[in-house]
Structure formats: C-alpha cells, structure tokens
A and B are shown apart, each in its own frame.
Chain A
Amino acid sequence: MSLLSLPSRILCCWFPDWSVQRLMFQEPNLARCLLVVIESSNRGNFVYQCNDLARRRGVQPGMPASEAETFAKPRDRYVARPLKTNQDTAILTELALRCERYSFCIGLEESERPECLLMDVTGIAHFFTDEETLAAQLQQTLSSRSLETRIAVAGTVGLAWGVARCLERRSPRLILAESDREALVRLPIQCLRIPLATTTKLHRLGIQTIGQLLKLNRASLWSRFGEDLLKRIDQLTGERSERITPCRPLPRFRVKQSLEYGLTQPEAIEQFWLSILQRVVALLAPKRLGTRHLRCRFFMEDRTTHEISVRLCSAEVGSSRLADLLRLQLERQHWTSPLTGIEMEALEVAPPVRPQEEMFSGASHEQHRRLAQLIDRLANRLGTQSVTRATLRANPIPELAFHLVPLTEQRSASPPESLVLPLDRPPALFPTPRPVEAIAVHPDGPPTVLFWQSTRFEIAAHWGPERIEFGWWLGTFVKRDYYRVTTSDGKRLWVFRRLQDDRWFWHGEWF
C-alpha cells in the first residue's frame, strides 16, 4: 500500500501557556519565580498567562497587571514580562525543527499566537512500534527539556487540535482511532477553532457539543455564522482537506533566464522554452519528484508578462508530456512583442504514482492512465474549468443542485444520492430561465398556451405543480411552481411560475 492511499494521521502537540513555558525554557531560573506575562492594550496592561506558582497565589489570566502584583507574598520573586509573540513563534518553530525525527512534515497551528505543533504521522508510527509509543517518546523528549505538553493523534488536523486542547495534566495524551466518531460528537464546541464571539453565540443557543452542532441544518448555520464555522466543522470531520504548512521552507524548483535580445521566431522560442523546461525537470529528477502544476512566465520586450499554468491530474516527471501540454496552450497565445525571458516553476511537486500492472483484471491502469492524459490535454487546451465532473448538492433549487468540479482538482466528498424519478428533471436546463408569456384557464393553474419569442406552444397535458420554496435565509428566495408540460406536437418542456410576481419561465426541456 502506498503512503498516499493510507488514511491520514495527524499528531497535535499543545504547549499550555506557551509564552510562560517559553520564558522558563530560555531562563530556567524563572521556574521558582511568580511569573506573569503581560499583554498591553489601549485599555491598559493585563495578565495574558502566568505560571503555576502565580496561579496558586490567585493570579488569573485577564486580570489587571497591577492587581496581579498584589498577590505576590513578601518572599516571592515577582517577575512580569511583556508578551512577545514573535519570539514565542520563533522558539516554537525551532522546537518543531528539533522534532523532525518524529514526522516528515511539521508545522505550527494557523493562529496569531500559535501554541501547537502539528505533525503528519501518516504511515510512520510503525517506526516507533505504534502511535502510542511515538506520542510517549515525543512527550518524554519534550518533558526532559521541562516542557509540559498535551498530545493527541487523530485523523484530521481539526480533530487532533480539538482533542489535545481538551486533555488534562493527569492524562496528557490520547490516540483516537480512525473510526472513533463518538469522541468527535462529545467534544465541546470550543474545540472548533472558532472566534470567541461565535462560541458565546452558540452557547446562548444551547449548543455545547460538536454532536449538537452537526445535527443542525448547514444552510441555516451558514446564514447565521458565515462560512468560517462550516469550514471548521468540515475540517474537523475531514470533509474538507487541511494541509500542514511545514516550518522548514520547501525547496523551490524554479528556473529563470533572460535574454539580451528578444526572440521572434517560433522555432527559436520553442527551443528556448524547451531548454528551460528540461532544466526544471532536471531539478526534480534527482529527488524523484514530478509536478502537478507548472507555472510559466514569459517576459516580453514591451515589459508585459504572459503567464501560463500547466495543470495535471497526477504528478508528471517527463519533459515530453509537459512540453506537449505547454505547447497546447502556447498555440492559443498571440504575442505582439519579442520574448526576452522565461521563468518556470514546478509548484505542486510529489512523487509520481507508479501503479503495478494488474494481472487479471480487464479494466487496467492503462485505461486510467489514458483517461488522465486525455483530461490533462483537454484541460490545458480548453481551460481547467471546461473539463469537469458533476457532483450533486443537497439543494432543491434546480440550478444549484449540482456543481461542476474541475477534474484537475482533488476529489471532493461523496455526493448526495438522487431522490427524484427519472423524468422529474429535464436532461437540459437553460443557464438562465427564459421568460415566457402564458395563458392559463385558472389564475393559479397550469398554462394552456405558452409564447416564447415568436413560437407558440399549445399545451396538451401537464404534470405538477412541484412547489420549490427554498433559501429565504440565504438571500436568494426561490418560490416556484414547476410543471412538466407536453405540447400538442409532443414536445416536453419544464416551466415554472414564479410565485412572487406570477411570471412564467421556461427552464428546461427534453431536448
């Protein structure tokens, strides 16, 4: 099994009160002092974090700094230090780089004041016997440097982060199995990495746990709390992917070359960009990497720049195929000025997938390889947005019931199943409904005659109405009565009456 096909495992290592821990890590003698970290704002100075001794004396985060000082006893050495986020982040990054033996990809949490290390431990736990041993060894290493940690391993970044934040000092680590949904639904909503205002609002509505939140309608959550809450829920459940940005800067695979004189001859231009492409591929080859996204910039003598992106379904290592796809796009370029320079950069690099040949099965990898190559060619010539796969959405509004996902992007979550009968929806839907004039026997009834431009449709039979009323909370209020109608000459149309103003529209057809 390749590493790419393994289920993702993420380790989150949280350093509680990191600003205080960082100070004690750098100056160990501060451990015996009453240490507070002060945050300054336009309202004054307040305690941001404090050590155990200060907490025992009664100091609480959020109290005024002057008040905190009064808790110190005569024999206590009171030390107040200003909050220095940059230094906190720098030391955390340094720590992350020292932990590289536990993961190939270590990053910090996405926050203004990061306190967590995130590690991708997919497929490496067996080097340490299992995940429990890996977490224990990591914790032991850090505690030997007097660092207190909480460690959680889970399937997603969001879940690992949430669980780590819930752990207590007496049980500082937890390994969640891939299918442990019980733990997820029991987590409090504070584990969602959402702003405090959102948490307070949810608490006011009586929502305490993730499980309660998951039972609510997504559309109403979106309208009340915005996209951020849905994003965090999806990241927690794994519906939306989340990448760890590694601390160690990634190597760049970029080649740039400028010319003294501009090129105008197509043959010379092709020779030039081919040589640059081969140099980029030569940078990738020793590391056994391919690219899924090649960005090319062509600099012109009139100081204009043309940018072309070559996107692929899978990482490609060969220069010939990349050249072929680049050529497809260059064929459509019209340059009016000589070419003076080119910059090429391989952006999404990854090891190429080399599947084993199937011995017996008929549907071979060869077929998939050909299809991937076809998609690459079509997408690079027609544009990535023109070569798509349709996915269904759980939205009753016909024009919003599907989504076209570019095939060069990653696959999304499994779509909802279709619940309509075969003839309930027309195979052709107009991008915008066509306004038609209608004559109906009853004011609220089905049409008997429809007029569209100079065409008259005599309606022989109808089926409906199908009332679609949705989305008032989203701003796009749809209130329609749909009819399937057949004309006197047998044509099948899909029309609707907009209930707000009783206007008729032709929306689709059995073309």
Chain B
Amino acid sequence: MNDLHFNASGSTVTQLQERIRLLERGTTRQEMTVRPTGCPGLDALFPLRGIRQGSLVEWIDQGPSSGAGSLSLLTSFQVMPQQQSAVLIDTQHQTYPPALAAWGVDLSRLVMVRPATEHDALWACEETLRCQAAAIVWAQIDHLSTTAARRLRLAVEQSSGICFLVRPAKALRQPSWAEVRLQVSPLPGFDESPTYRVSVAYCQGRSLRSSVDIKIDKHRGTIDELAQPSVEDSLLLVS
C-alpha cells in the first residue's frame, strides 16, 4: 500500500515537473524525441533518460586531456540520426578526422568549421542552429555571455537539433542556459580503454543518477558503463 502511495505521488511529481518545465520554456515543443546515447548509465544523467532533440548540453572539462571533448564527440555521433549531417565548430583547429573515421564516423556527413576567432565560432554555432540543417552541432566555446547563451538556447529549441558545447572548468562559475551540464574527469587506470567519471553539475529536471563511471571500448569505440562492485554480493561474501 505504501508502495502504491509512493508510486502515485511519484507520478504526480513527474507530471508537475513536466508542467513546470513547459511553463518555464514556452518555446519547447510538446512532442519530444529523446535519443539514447547507447550507454544506459550516461542516459540516466539526463532528465528524460536520453538526450532530447532541441536541447543544449554543456560538457565541462577539468583541464587539458580531461576527456570532455572526446566523450562529447563520441556521444554526438552515437545520437546522430542516420542520413543527417553534423557540424563541428573546431575553434582550436585540433580535431583529428582520422580518429573520427576510426570511430566509424562517416566523414562525408561531417561539416568541419574552423573559425579564426571565438566570436566567429559563436556566430557559426547560432547560424547553424537557426538553419535547422544539422542534426548535431558541436562547438568548443570558452567565453559565453549570458545573452549569447540565451540566444543559443532559443536557437536550439527552435531547431530539432542537439547542441553540445565543450567548455572549460571556469564556466562553472557562470550561470548556464544549458539543459544539462556535465563535468568530465579522467579516472586513473592501467586499462587500454580510457575511463572517465561524468557527473551532473546542473540539470533542469531530475536525473536518475548524479554521476557515472564510464569507459571507451578500445575495440569498438563505444561508451560502456564501468561495472560497479555490487554491495549486496560483497555483504553476502562477508557473511
């Protein structure tokens, strides 16, 4: 009986959250498409158990080689619909296409934009979102004013694409218009497959989990959740 009561109140809370979300963001469409990342643990960090089309996601890196760029790129190709294009706004001119091809990315569906300045990068990002031609827009943006962030948010909500921004750790001190902000930090290890901890720094809505440990499979190039040692099993072993 208690369980039923809990479930009923849980669904009411979910409905109320949904209504608040729609009231807060008048531009959000009623019909929503959620794209799974292929890793249930990573999906659980998002309020809708996957990445909603028309959402802005910020990936915060914790210094150089933290893995935020790699993970966000890999995720973006996982959620990209077939026969559609992605636009990479590579501000630092470092993205390496042979590595993307090794992940299985069709380079002919990838538009690589290498702007000279960050101002141009921001313009290109907004322009691409407003054009509604690309399914994924991935960009490295260091400095983002509140106005620019709001403009990006409105642009991505009007389009049916997904926008991933890779931002430095200092961006955490600024207010965000992203639906979800994920912090990525590398985990030490001796395995050839790199491991990362992805934690939610901010989320509009309730996510199932606050962090997840994942690895990039060295053979398939997919994102897999790291196996957690089961607490119950260990207790059983102790007993």
Say yes or no: A431 contacts B64, CB within 8 Å: no
Say yes or no: A431 contacts B221, CB within 8 Å: no
Task: Render B180-195 as a binary contact track against A, CB cut-off 8 A, 1 for contact.
Answer: 0000011111101111
Say yes or no: B186 contacts A382, CB within 8 Å: no
Nearest B residue (CB) for A393: B98
Q: What is the number of contacts between chain A and chain B, taking CB atoms within 8 Å?
A: 176
Number of interface residues of A (CB under 8 A): 55
Say yes or no: A378 contacts B65, CB within 8 Å: no
Say yes or no: A407 contacts B131, CB within 8 Å: no
Say yes or no: B84 contacts A421, CB within 8 Å: no
CB<8 Å pairs between A and B, sample of 9: A371-B134, A387-B112, A388-B114, A392-B97, A422-B219, A428-B70, A491-B186, A509-B64, A511-B66
Say yes or no: B186 contacts A422, CB within 8 Å: no
Task: List A contacts of B94 (CB < 8 A).
Answer: 428-431, 511
Task: List B contacts of A375 (CB < 8 A).
Answer: 111
Contact A463 B221, CB 8 Å, known A389-B111, A401-B98, A511-B64: no
Say yes or no: A423 contacts B192, CB within 8 Å: yes
Residue positions of A touching B, CB distance < 8 A:
362-363, 367, 370-371, 373-375, 377-378, 381-383, 386-392, 398, 401-402, 404, 407, 415, 418, 420-431, 460-461, 463, 484, 486-493, 508-511
CB distance from A508 to the nearest CB of B (A): 6
Residue positions of B touching A, CB distance < 8 A:
61, 64-70, 73, 83-85, 87, 92-104, 107-108, 110-116, 120, 123-124, 127-128, 131-134, 185-190, 192-196, 216-221
CB distance from A318 to the nearest CB of B (A): 17
Nearest A residue (CB) for B187: A490
Say yes or no: B96 contacts A428, CB within 8 Å: yes
Say yes or no: B124 contacts A378, CB within 8 Å: yes
Cβ-defined partner of A390 (8 Å) among B103, B107, B132, B134: B107
What is the interface of chain A mostly: helix, strand, loop, or mixed? mixed
Say yes or no: B120 contacts A418, CB within 8 Å: no
Contact A511 B61, CB 8 Å, known A390-B97, A490-B195: yes
Task: List A contacts of B188 (CB < 8 A).
Answer: 460, 486-490
Task: List B contacts of A389 (CB < 8 A).
Answer: 107-108, 110-112
Say yes or no: A381 contacts B100, CB within 8 Å: no
Task: List B contacts of A386 (CB < 8 A).
Answer: 113-116
The CA of A382 and the CA of B127, in the complex, are separated in Å by: 12
The CA of A351 and the CA of B138, in the complex, are separated in Å by: 35
Say yes or no: A425 contacts B96, CB within 8 Å: yes
Say yes or no: A391 contacts B107, CB within 8 Å: yes
Nearest A residue (CB) for B82: A363
Say yes or no: B96 contacts A370, CB within 8 Å: no
Say yes or no: A423 contacts B123, CB within 8 Å: no
Task: List B contacts of A374 (CB < 8 A).
Answer: 87, 127-128, 131, 133-134
